[in-house]
Chains A and B, each alone.
Chain A
């Protein structure tokens, strides 16, 4: 069965970076794009960007451009999302979610979410 398993919760200080992983299983890793979506406590959903597992090309939301880096490791079927220069507003649950095509609707296979807390 399809599974997206994310790394555990993180606590970071302002200005630091965080790298969240998402390990895929149960399907052909290179057959699906991966997106990252975040949700601050009590707030709505926010799309961060997408990575193509073939070649690793990316498209980031302008809000995160310059601070976010999405990468993948095809040998382990894992994608990574690194966010730098963290501030308190980046405290959120971060989800990975797949799509079949580059412009498809987000499917029903989401990671379990990773809580990143930014606090001094």
Chain B
């Protein structure tokens, strides 16, 4: 099974800050990785697919990069609505696996 190690587990930042979240896969997964945002009581929302493609309707301040075993999600200028929990998901092989999540909080 592929393990996804996501860091940091929590992050405190201010509106306008640039933040980066990282996911590392225990083995190569090509670009079979998505990033999701989840707000309390809601289903996750996909932000990025195949590592770097922006989901339709998602603001361009979100971007993804990486391939193989190391991936990043960057938010270029945090907005109030971006404070949420973020997860990566590998879909290269079964069982799919999520990172542990990063809770992004307002400083």
Contact = CB atoms under 8 A, between A and B. Distances in A.
B43 A47 contact: no
B34 A103 contact: no
B64 to A, nearest CB: 11
Contact of B34 (A44, A95, A106): A106
B81 interface: no
Interface of B, secondary structure class, is loop
A76 interface: no
A108 B101 contact: no
Interface residues of A, number: 25
Nearest to B45: A108
Contact of A110 (B43, B91, B96, B98): B43
Interface of B: 1, 32-34, 36, 38, 43-46, 49-50, 55, 87, 89, 91-101
15 contacts: A44-B98, A44-B99, A45-B44, A47-B95, A47-B96, A49-B95, A63-B95, A103-B32, A103-B93, A105-B49, A106-B34, A106-B91, A107-B46, A111-B43, A112-B43
